[in-house]
Amino acid sequence: MRRGRAVAAATAVLAVVAGSLALTRLGSGEETGGAKNTGLPPATAPVERGDLRDSAQADGTLGYDKQRKVNAGAAGTITWAPRTGSTVKRNERLYEIDGRPVRLMYGAGPMYRTLKPGDKGRDVEQLERNLAELGYTGFTPDEEYTELTSAAVKRWQKSHDVKRTGKVGPQDVTFAPGKVRIKSVGAGVGEQAQPGAPVLETTGSERIVTFRLDVAESRLAKAGTKVTVDLPDGTTASGKVSSVGRTAKPGDDPQDDSPKVTLTVSFDEPDEVDGFDQSPVTVNLTGETRRDVLTVPVNALLALPGGGFGLQVVRGGTTREVKVELGMFAEGRVEVSGGGLREGAKVGVPKI
C-alpha cells in the first residue's frame, strides 16, 4: 500500500523528533523565545500558508459486487447453462434441468419451498411483487398466497409454455437481489445436478473496487467519502466509499502485520468502467482538508525541554526558538500555530 501521512506516520515522526532532534538542539540552555547569535541551522525553509490535505493511496481490486452461489433446486441433468460473463435479468433463464428452465426473480430471501394457495410468508410477497412487476396482476402483493395469486402464476406459466399448475417452487425460480452476472458455471451441460449442490457462481452486475487500509488511516475513508480510481487502461473514474468493514485483520504482507479493514468503492458511472474481473487498480483518497493554514516541513520541528514542540526561527543572522501548537500532518508538512509565526518566515531544517 502507498500511503499519505496519517495518524500512524505522524506519531512516528514525532517520536523521531522527540528522540533525536532534542539531542541536537542548537544553542545551550537558553529560554524559549530568546534571541541567539550563534548556531545557525544548516538550512532553512519558509513558513507557508495554504490548504493542507490529508490523503492516501491504496492498492485495490476491480471486480463485481454481491458474489453468491446458486444451488440446484431439483435433481436431474443440466440441459442448458449460461455463458460465463453474461448477465441474467428478472424472468430470464439461469439454467435448465431436464429441459425445465429455472428463472431469476428479484428478492433478498431464498426460494426454499413450493408455494401454493394457503401458504403465507415473506417469500410469498416476494414472488407476488415479481409477478406484478412482470404484468401478471389481479391480486394485492402481500404475504398470503391466494387463488388469485395462483391464477396469476398460471398465466405466467402459460407465457413460458410450461404446465399450468398454479404452484411455484425451487425447481422453477431462484431469487437474487437484482440482475446477476455469471462468474462461473459449476455444472456444465450433461452433468448431473443435485438439490442444494452449486450449479452457478454469480455476482452483481455493478463494478466495484475492494481495498484495505490500516486501521489508523481508516478515518480517511468513511462511507460516502469521495475517491478517484486509477483503472488498468490508464483512465481515472470517480466514486465513493460504499462500505467499511467492521473487523480489522492483519494484511497479507508478512513484513506489515498491522491490522487493516476492508473497504468497498462504488463508481459514480459504473456502466462506463471497463476492465477484467479482479484487475489491480489504485484508489486515491482525500480525507480532511485544512484551509488557509500555516505549515512547515515536519523535520523542522524541535522537541522542547519542558515538553511540546517548537521551531527555530531564523531572521537577520540570528535564531530564536518559539513554541508552537501542532495540527494536521499531511504531504510531509505539519500545520502549526502560535509563536508569532507569519507566512514567509524562515525556520531551521536539517540539510538534505
Q: Mean pLDDT across the stretch 30-55?
A: 74
Average pLDDT along the chain? 86
Q: Which of 77, 153, 160 is nearest to 115 (CA)?
A: 153
Q: What is the pLDDT of residue 254?
A: 65
Q: Which of 72, 104, 102, 98 is nearest to 190 (CA)?
A: 98
Query: Per-residue confidence at 240, pLDDT binned at 50, 70, 90?
Result: very high
Residue for grid cell 505522524: 10
Query: Per-residue confidence at 8, pLDDT binned at 50, 70, 90?
Result: very low
Range scoring the smallest mean pLDDT among 45-59, 116-130, 143-157, 334-348: 45-59
| 307 conformational bin, left if phi > 0, alpha if psi -120 to 50, beta if neither | left
What pLDDT, in 10s, does the model give residues 167-212? 999 999 999 999 999 999 998 999 999 999 999 999 988 899 999 9
Residue 150 grid cell: 395462483
Q: Are 62 and 69 in contact (CB under 8 A)?
A: no
In this structure, which amino acid lies at residue 323?
A: K
CA 129 to chain centroid, in Å, comes to 32
Q: What is the pLDDT of residue 96?
A: 97
Higher pLDDT, 24 or 49: 49
Q: Would you tell me how many other CB atoms lie within 10 Å of the CB of residue 194?
A: 13
Q: What is the pLDDT of residue 236?
A: 93
> Which residues face 185 on adjacent strands?
200
